[in-house]
Structure formats: C-alpha cells, structure tokens
Amino acid sequence: MMLAKMCSDKNKPNGQYRIPPERDAVMDFIKNLAIRKVPGIGKVTEKMLKALEIEVCTELYQQRALISLLFSETSCHNFLEISLGLGSTHLERDWERKSMSTERTFNEISSSEQYKLC
C-alpha cells in the first residue's frame, strides 16, 4: 500500500508509474526517495530526521541505531520497513458497515406552493 501511494505521487496528475515486482527494482525506487514523500512522515518528523542528517530513505536504514534511541519503537519499526521497501497490503477495518446509503437529488423549489408541500 505504501509503495502504491508513493508511485501515484511520482507521476502526477495521472499517477501512472510502475515498479516491477522485484526486490532490486523496489530498492532502486526507495533508495533516493526523499523522506517527505513517504506516507506518514509529515513536516515535524521530516524536520527531526533532517536534523539527524537523514534526507532520503536509504539513510533511514543507515542511521537505524541512532533512530532507535530517539524515536518510539513503533516509529522505528515503521522507518525500518520504509527503508527496506516493505509495507502491508492487508487492510483491516476497525468498523463494520451497518448500512448502505442511497442519495436522491430533488429539483429546485421555486414557488411558495411547492414549499408548502414540504
């Protein structure tokens, strides 16, 4: 899922970019990718990582020991997965769909007689 998002951002506006399903191709794509292009790395995290001289995804792996000292276990795990080009393709729902909605558009009302019918 993470790679799909990053690929769609690469060739805006139509999002047509393909990474061959091979380990080397994924790593070539990831290695020089700016950390800010990674979903989940926002402005604040980017600023913190840049202060550690981490600007591209390869550097996340190279600095993993330092990152483990400064970030939470969850963040470290996420950064490691990013640097290795790993991501989950399994999506879990936290909720169950209760109903299916239907929309209906009405014509505009222009007369007072029509308003009275409402």
Structural tokens at position 68 = 């483990």
- What span, in angstroms and rounded, lies between the C-alpha atoms of 59 and 31? 8
Structural tokens at position 64 = 């993993």
Residue 69 pLDDT: 94
**pLDDT tens, the chain, 118 aa long:** 677 778 777 776 676 788 888 889 889 999 889 999 888 899 999 999 999 999 999 999 999 999 999 999 999 999 999 898 887 655 566 666 666 666 666 677 677 777 677 6
Q: pTM of the prediction?
A: 0.65
Residue recorded with tokens 């970030």: 71
Residue 76 pLDDT: 92
Residue 48 pLDDT: 94
Would you give the DSSP letter of residue 73? Answer: H
The ranges assigned to domains in the chain are 1-86
What top-level class would CATH report for the domain 1-86? mainly alpha
